Every structure is written in C-alpha cells, then in structure tokens.
Amino acid sequence: MPLLFTIITQNQQNIESAEALANEIIETLGNGTSMQLIEPYHKFADSYAIHLEKIVPTEDPTVLIHLTLALADTLVSPWLVNYDSDSKKIDLIYNNAEYTQKRKPAFHAILWAEII
C-alpha cells in the first residue's frame, strides 16, 4: 500500500537544496521510497514542495497506522493525527514550530508535511 508524503520546505534558495533534502528523507524512510516530484511552492519565498511515495508491505489497517506513525517520527515530531474509522485511513500533519523536534539537522528545512 502506498503512503504519500507532501513536504513543504523553507529556506531553500534553489532546487538543488530541495533535492538534497529529498534524498536525505528518502534515505531515512528506507527501501520502497521514491521521489514523485519537486516543484517550487509559491506560497512562501524560497520554498519547494517535495512529493514522495513509500510502499509499505501491508494492507492491515492496524499495522499500517503503526508503521505510518513510526515512519513519521523518523523525520520530525510531533504530528497531528486524523483517523477515519469508517475508511480505516490515517492522515498526519506536521507544522514546524519553535519546540518541534527534527531528527536530523537537514530536517530543520521542513516547514510543513502531510502523510496520507
């Protein structure tokens, strides 16, 4: 089952910086992660939208939720979690703030993220 990551960066003056961040995220998320698209994010200066896909080897909703939370925590924390029990789907949102945790120095460039 695919997990879709959208990551909005900050303080990225060029696409090469965004690509380097995307590669660091892909390395952190591990096998089965691929880059879908990197594009300028025009809402903020010096920002890019990074779109990634991670294939996870389960359809079990309980395992998928736990795995999604564990993967999210390898990047930054905390995450807001929305869960729809009818569809068994999870949506995670991260907003950068003064007291949020970044698991690697490169992840300070993450302004906002969503995992669906």
* Structural domain boundaries in the chain: 2-115
Bridge partners of residue 77, in order along the sequence: 101
Please, which pLDDT band fits residue 88 given cuts at 50, 70 and 90?
A: confident
**For the whole model, what pTM was predicted?**
0.94
Place of tokens 């970044």: 102
pLDDT digits (tens, 9 = 90+) for 91-107: 999 999 999 999 999 99
Question: What residues have CB less than 8 Å from 42, skipping those under 6 apart?
Answer: none
pLDDT over 90 (residue 85): no
What distance in Å separates the CA atoms of residue 15 and residue 17, rounded to the nearest whole number?
5
pLDDT digits (tens, 9 = 90+) for 2-37: 999 999 999 999 999 999 999 999 999 999 999 999
Cα-Cα-Cα-Cα dihedral sign, residues 42, 3, 18, 9: positive
Please give the CATH architecture assigned to the domain spanning 2-115.
Answer: 2-Layer Sandwich (3.30)
Most confident of 27-41, 60-74, 85-99: 27-41
Cα-based angle 62, 65, 68 (whole degrees, multiple of 5): 145
User: Which H or E element spans position 27?
Assistant: helix 15-29
